[in-house]
């Protein structure tokens, strides 16, 4: 296994450490079954295959695991492309015990990431049928410890990752507004407290809050839990008041594959959906092994 400070392909070092932790979690002190049944010098080969149609994601992570554990690999299919049943994705070769030890972690990652990439691709394509310029973004509704991989899968599927963490940008939500006393006051406080280099987004629940946020200098107004029809109404009013050009308009809350087209034609610039990372079906892959 590589040392702590070694890097693998272009994944961040923190992500490599996370992959190491995933392996430790599953293997712990050793693969008991393989250790008592498989000779320690046996060499094997393995191929990861798709079992269902999916947009492929997670190949970088799988090959990183191969490098971390001393396996040779060959990539047969590339991220962002559709793959189908029985299509080979990656070939691996090395110690048989190592192949058996990494199998489940590799499959868990590629199945989940490909499931997210597939859902994202479908939602992006549906939205852009109505509005070619709209962005479809993820949210922070991610699995603890798996956020990087989920966000990267969204990008592979053609979506925008949005914030990775709370320090990426100012996003004033309804609870912030409740503490401060108003959308306008919250935006003003943020404008005074952060650098010009940070965008300020304000989540609003009403048209009046949207107007207050814009007048106070918000860069983005997030229409939270508005119907698509109401979003269109806000867009129309802001256009009439010559305020629409001052902000990016984002819609979020309850948006999914069934209604995303309605939101895409409502006049927004961004559609954010937690469904991308919490309501997807994992793609199906398997790993077939042979030993010499």
List residues with catalytic annotation: 141
In three-state secondary structure terms, 202 is strand
Distance CA 253, CA 94 (A): 47
Q: Pick from 145, 195, 162, 176: which is nearest to 17 by CA? A: 145
Angle at alpha carbon of residue 158, lines to 155 and 161, rounded to 5°: 35
Q: Cβ distance 11 to 64 under 8 Å?
A: yes
Distance CA 186, CA 189 (A): 5
Distance CA 161, CA 138 (A): 5
Distance CA 27, CA 21 (A): 10
Task: Specify which residues 272 forms β-bridges with.
Answer: 137, 252
Q: Pick from 55, 75, 57, 68: which is nearest to 18 by CA? A: 68
- SS3 string, 74-136, reads EECCCCCCEECCCCEEEEEEEEHHHHHHHHHHHHHHHHHHHHHHHHHHHHHHHHHHHCCCCEE
Task: Specify which residues 200 forms β-bridges with.
Answer: 170
Angle at alpha carbon of residue 11, lines to 27 and 3, rounded to 5°: 55
Q: Pick from 167, 184, 183, 146: which is nearest to 280 by CA? A: 146
């Amino acid at each position: 296994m590589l040392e702590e400070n070694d890097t693998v392909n272009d994944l961040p070092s923190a992500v490599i450490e996370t992959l190491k932790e995933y392996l430790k979690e599953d293997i712990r002190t050793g693969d008991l079954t393989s250790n008592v049944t498989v000779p320690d010098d046996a060499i094997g080969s393995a191929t990861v295959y798709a079992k269902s149609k999916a947009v492929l994601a997670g190949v970088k992570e799988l090959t990183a695991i191969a490098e971390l554990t001393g396996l040779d690999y060959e990539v047969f299919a590339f991220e962002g492309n559709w793959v189908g049943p029985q299509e080979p994705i990656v070939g691996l070769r090395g110690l048989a015990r190592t192949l058996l030890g990494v199998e489940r972690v590799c499959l868990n990652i590629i199945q989940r990431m490909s499931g997210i990439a597939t859902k994202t691709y479908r939602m992006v394509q549906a939205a852009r049928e109505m509005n070619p310029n709209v962005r479809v973004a993820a949210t922070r509704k991610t699995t603890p410890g798996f956020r990087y991989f989920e966000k990267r899968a969204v990008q592979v599927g053609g979506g925008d990752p949005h914030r990775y963490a709370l320090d990426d940008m100012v996003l004033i939500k309804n609870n912030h507004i409740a503490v401060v006393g108003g959308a306008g006051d919250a935006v003003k406080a943020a404008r005074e407290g952060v650098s010009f280099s940070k965008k300020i987004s304000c989540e609003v629940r009403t048209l009046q809050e949207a107007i207050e946020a814009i007048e106070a200098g918000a860069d983005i107004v997030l229409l939270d839990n508005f119907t698509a029809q109401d979003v269109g109404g806000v867009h129309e009013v802001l256009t009439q008041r010559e305020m629409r050009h001052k902000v990016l308009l984002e819609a979020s809350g309850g948006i999914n594959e069934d209604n995303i087209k309605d939101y895409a034609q409502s006049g927004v610039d961004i559609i954010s959906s937690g469904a991308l990372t919490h309501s997807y079906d994992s793609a199906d892959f398997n790993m077939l092994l042979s030993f010499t």
